[in-house]
Structure 1
């Protein structure tokens, strides 16, 4: 039997603490990781300050009136891989977030805390320069706290326990500017502030909304201004189209629950006013699954690899909520910003839950899009109709007369003789619209069909057909392109009437069907039109 030697091999302090700066944190995610600690400490008030001094040196302070920490608690909190919190439901999970999130952007992290209103605050600091100098995991403890941080602690938690997290030597937030205190650098910092405010308002929506009973209320401020809750589902205006609370059994025989809800938001023009529409942040990027762990958003606006984002699903947003019991099942990452679905859950979402809401969102989008296209497309074919009117005599064609307006039968006289056939007989919807007429839908999904419009040989073009949606719509404001497309449609219709015979009428119908089918296939990979953008 061989002898096994046991060797304690601590990692090199400088290499590890510097290496952990590159864990992939984004700034907003990093700040939220620290706010998680405030909420886990039962804070009801959190103040954030992101400021730069006259030299351009940036400081971030996050102060709360949470439980606070004594000396031992503070040392534990600053340890990499700190001991787990008593509650498994805590937003803080791995004991790494405070340190790795902070040093991803700064080289000096301090935490100032007190366990009650009578005990003086104590400051603990990880200084990466100091760790490199002494080459030890050397945490600095100081009874003399940063004055500004202490002042903020007294403001947010007067005579109360509380904590302040302080970032100094912030070197990875902004790019290097020739003048760190100049206008461009300050503008960039303000942009970071605005993005952080938006992120916090979404991530902690359930805590920030006093009317949301799922989470306790927390007041949050950034640079002196309130952070207001933003509801991605706009639940007071949208429609809940699916709601599934699910009980599941884990591999260790414990039971756990999660809930999935599907909301369809109104189209922009269906909101009560522009302010409400703007608040909904309607865009293709906002569709998808929003994942909440313990009422905190951890991942947003993504289909988790199940689908691609598509414009006709812009209004569909899915809420997926679970508690800490499902952490292992979802492989929650260190930043609590991503989950990996197991196969059973992915199959359930894709095969059972999501198809119906996706179909309904698609249907509503198409209906709304049709209304917008019809409205914005009014007059788009006028130039084509004028041009064809001027060239109708030169183009020639058969004589077409109404035989029976009740049955839609017409008599066509062309060079092959006289043919009696059913033909769409209609009137103009707009003055002069007697050659090319856009219509919402044609039987069998045809792209076009010959018609007799107020006695003129014309063509009806189906605005619901994918070819119209993807080829016509982006060009509704381009006169020459519209004339080219419309002239082709009209020419095909007149050519059919010029050559049709009794025994070929069904063949021409089949040809129109095949042309429509082939064109639908050919435009499948073309981008969906953004009606609000493409049709100004």
Structure 2
């Protein structure tokens, strides 16, 4: 007989325990990436029925001052804006909504900015505004009310681009990712790098929306003092299944996995053509990380690659991508979406259903994986690829470069990696090598010139280090260096010293 105490816990009333103000700090520490945070705000614009979204970087000469996201959606009146700015505020999410948790606007924004201001206008209401300033929020969830005149002026500034009769503006101030000192071209370099990454991220995760004729995202950079617009371009859809001809003519094929909890689930399995140079295949990260499942929720990509514990990523499956539209799972028993919408946690029920999944021709899902691997291997054989194995790249080489090296070369995984370190050396030497430690020492004297004045870091100078890594393979794979290799090293040493000194001279001019 089971004792009653195991089921019943007697209570003696209840009391309200409101969250401490420090909860806002926890809310802003969700680990949002910069691009993912902006994508979360664009989701809100899509839910509001927007046709046009502007991502606006505002600069004052060399200083970046604010980031603004503007849409021409239905907007919010004062009551609706209060709900939107309430932590955990739950607006009425429709069946096709991209929002879920009621925290995205706040957590995405305050993860990257000291304050977030939201101004909105509907067809029937005047512009209204609210601001979360992190310092006020931590002291007791105090949300500022924006002066109505300023709210009107802000809307007027964006009149026609894209706001017409209604819309919403989200402004970030004190953006933590912005360079603190914009001199020396740092702002331009930051914008070039960031705008490119942002375009790729939005183009990928929102590609189904961007492929429609009635939805557009524009990224713009403008000087607030002069009004000069430095950049203005539309984000293009980046379809991860946008190949012209499949790698296997019998694909894509729809496999059906049967889940006891949710019923049948369609897996649209694709095999990319080998050796593709299309941006849709190579532009958004290491290829090995992009094989696997592409989960969509209401047409929004919420996971771009990965096998969700079904198997480990491997180079020979680099052509395999599977599109899955998530079914309605109200209790999140099979699929649980992360708050940041950058991944899906799949239960063992999903993983266990894959081996028995079949397409209409009776092929098993495991046959699909075998076919994807076969296409990859046959393409390498036809190309006559027999690349010499290389020692693995180690510390000092950028992780993204390491991924590509491991994809492109057969790596001697059981050998010690080749590491890089800056070191004080005589000025007539660009580098030294320590064969026993598999270490390349680069001359600290030339570091600033090679970095163009930028601050150094562990994985800096990726081009130079990668070239040195490729050049030094023979030196580290041989126990003793022959006279030809020694002569080559002396040649490289002299030429590289001359090039580094030329860079120093340019800095001095």
What does residue 373 of structure 2 align with?
A: 362
What does residue 71 of structure 1 align with?
A: 78
Alignment partners' CA distance in 2, 1:148 and 1:188: 29
Which of 125, 129, 135 matches 2:131? 125
Residue deviations 1:336-374, cap 9 Å, x none?
222221222101224545311110011111111111126
Residue deviations 1:470-521, cap 9 Å, x none?
89xxx9xx999xxxxxxxxxxxxxxxxxxxxxxxxxxxxxxxxxxxxxxxxx
Alignment partners' CA distance in 2, 1:355 and 1:302: 16
Q: TM-score, normalised by structure 2?
A: 0.65
Contact 1:306 1:350 in 2 (8 A): no
What does residue 296 of structure 1 align with?
A: 300
Counterparts in 2 of 1:278 and 1:196: CA distance versus 1, 3 Å? closer
**2:68 is paired with a residue of what secondary structure?**
strand
Higher share of residues assigned helix: 1
1:183 and 2:185 correspond: yes
Alignment partners' CA distance in 2, 1:313 and 1:154: 49
What does residue 429 of structure 1 align with?
A: none
1:162 and 2:164 correspond: no
What does residue 242 of structure 1 align with?
A: 253
Contact 1:122 1:144 in 2 (8 A): no
Which of 100, 103, 108 matches 2:107? 100
**1:112 is paired with a residue of what secondary structure?**
strand
Contact 2:52 2:215 in 1 (8 A): yes
Q: How does 1:196-235 map to 2 (within 5 A)?
A: 196-210=198-212, 217-223=214-220, 224-235=232-243
Alignment partners' CA distance in 2, 1:4 and 1:479: 76
Which structure is larger by alpha-carbon Rg, 1 or 2?
1
What does residue 401 of structure 2 align with?
A: none
**2:345 is paired with a residue of what secondary structure?**
coil
Counterparts in 2 of 1:90 and 1:348: CA distance versus 1, 3 Å? same
Q: Which moved more, 1:160-169 or 1:365-374?
A: 365-374
1:335 and 2:337 correspond: no
**1:331 is paired with a residue of what secondary structure?**
strand
Counterparts in 2 of 1:245 and 1:128: CA distance versus 1, 3 Å? same
Counterparts in 2 of 1:162 and 1:2: CA distance versus 1, 3 Å? closer
Contact 2:127 2:152 in 1 (8 A): no
Alignment partners' CA distance in 2, 1:306 and 1:159: 49
What does residue 506 of structure 2 align with?
A: none
Alignment partners' CA distance in 1, 2:192 and 2:310: 36
Q: Which runs of 5+ in 2 are unaligned?
A: 1-8, 221-231, 358-363, 389-409, 413-469, 476-509
Contact 1:84 1:94 in 2 (8 A): no
Counterparts in 2 of 1:151 and 1:92: CA distance versus 1, 3 Å? same
Alignment partners' CA distance in 2, 1:39 and 1:120: 22
Alignment partners' CA distance in 1, 2:265 and 2:16: 42
Alignment partners' CA distance in 1, 2:306 and 2:188: 32
Which of 138, 141, 145 matches 2:145? 141
What does residue 10 of structure 1 align with?
A: 18
Counterparts in 2 of 1:327 and 1:189: CA distance versus 1, 3 Å? farther
**1:93 is paired with a residue of what secondary structure?**
coil
Q: Which runs of 5+ in 1 are unaligned?
A: 212-216, 381-468, 481-536
Counterparts in 2 of 1:35 and 1:327: CA distance versus 1, 3 Å? farther
Q: TM-score, normalised by structure 1?
A: 0.62
Q: Offset at 1:327? A: 6.5
What does residue 505 of structure 2 align with?
A: none
The number of equivalent residue pairs is 369
Q: CA RMSD in A?
A: 3.5
Counterparts in 2 of 1:190 and 1:29: CA distance versus 1, 3 Å? same
**2:344 is paired with a residue of what secondary structure?**
coil
Counterparts in 2 of 1:326 and 1:9: CA distance versus 1, 3 Å? closer
Residue deviations 1:78-97, cap 9 Å, x none?
00011242414310100001
Residue deviations 1:269-306, cap 9 Å, x none?
xx6xx6xx455328333222111111100011211222
1:309 and 2:313 correspond: yes
Alignment partners' CA distance in 2, 1:125 and 1:326: 32
